[in-house]
Amino acid sequence: MRSHGSLVVFTLMVQAAVGGVWCLQAAFLWNRVPVGALCLKILLPTALGLVLTGLAAAAAHLGNPSDSRHAVKNIKRSWLSREIISVGILAGILAIVAALAHIRPGVLDGWLLLPGSLAGAAALYAMTRVYRLRTVPSWNHAGTPLAFLGSTLLLGGLLGTLVLTIPAWFQAAGLEAAGQKDFRSVARIAVLAGFILNLLASGVTPPGVGSAGPFKTRQPVLQGLGVALGMVYILAAGSPVFHSLLLFFAAVCLVSGEIIQRIQFYDSYQRVGL
């Protein structure tokens, strides 16, 4: 697993960024009004930072990171090249949109976010195809795209929820609260949908594929606990400190489950044939 740690970081961070952008896009389309400066000015730069950190981790996976430029040369035949290029395009679009969020937030609407959402979808598709190898049956099944999509929704929804629960000093800074209720609802739906997709992914994984042992059980248990704590966070009344603790522990459980799932995914690698 140690040699694949950077890939765990790359895939999960890019997927979280894509999911966060999708949630923002869905909130725009839901209410057709700006979601507010808090979402735009915080979530978009955060998503960009996650993508850039993921790209740095992917480069670090190489024995010589300076050779990473060669990974994009075979775009006609290699899904790995397409993955790197599509993630790079996503980073470029997020940089432009994040800059617009600070310079002219009023011009950002659902249509201007659409290129980022589509670039995220392209990056996620290419990322999935990289692992759909006929010579690696432990990856070449329907559970792989389902798990990647589930991680994207769950982590993106969690990212959006965390952005909207950053302490109230953002409100004091004059950031608009318009549309935050809609975005919060979209984020919660995304987390729940991602959790369900992760369960479905486990259900369609071929028998004998994947690592046995406690990891097989810990991932759904941790994420189920995270979802339960999230429901308590939504429904419970109490002090801001109590709510913050609930969200913190829910986030820890959800992210830990994702990390365990991705470690299990890479540990299941077993090549067959040529």
pLDDT digits (tens, 9 = 90+) for 130-148: 998 888 888 988 899 999 9
Question: Quick one: fold of 2-267?
Answer: Formate dehydrogenase/DMSO reductase fold (1.20.1630)
45: amino acid identity, one letter? P
Is residue 161 within 8 Å of 191, Cβ to Cβ? yes
User: Is 60 exceeded by the pLDDT of residue 227?
Assistant: yes
Structure tokens at 153: 């929704």
| Cα distance between residue 129 and residue 18, in whole Å | 17
Report in angstroms the alpha-carbon separations of 229 from 114, 222, 225, 260. Answer: 32, 11, 6, 19
3: amino acid identity, one letter? S
pLDDT tens readout for residues 77-92: 788 888 989 999 999 9
Tell me the domain boundaries of the chain.
2-267
| Cα distance between residue 84 and residue 62, in whole Å | 13
pTM value?
0.88
pLDDT tens readout for residues 100-126: 877 876 666 667 788 999 999 999 999
What proportions of the chain, in percent to the nearest 5, are helix, strand and coil?
A: 80, 0, 20
The helix (H) or strand (E) run that includes residue 99 is helix 79-103
Which residue in 198, 210, 197, 205 sits closest to 143, CA to CA? 205
Please report the pLDDT score of residue 177 as a whole number: 54
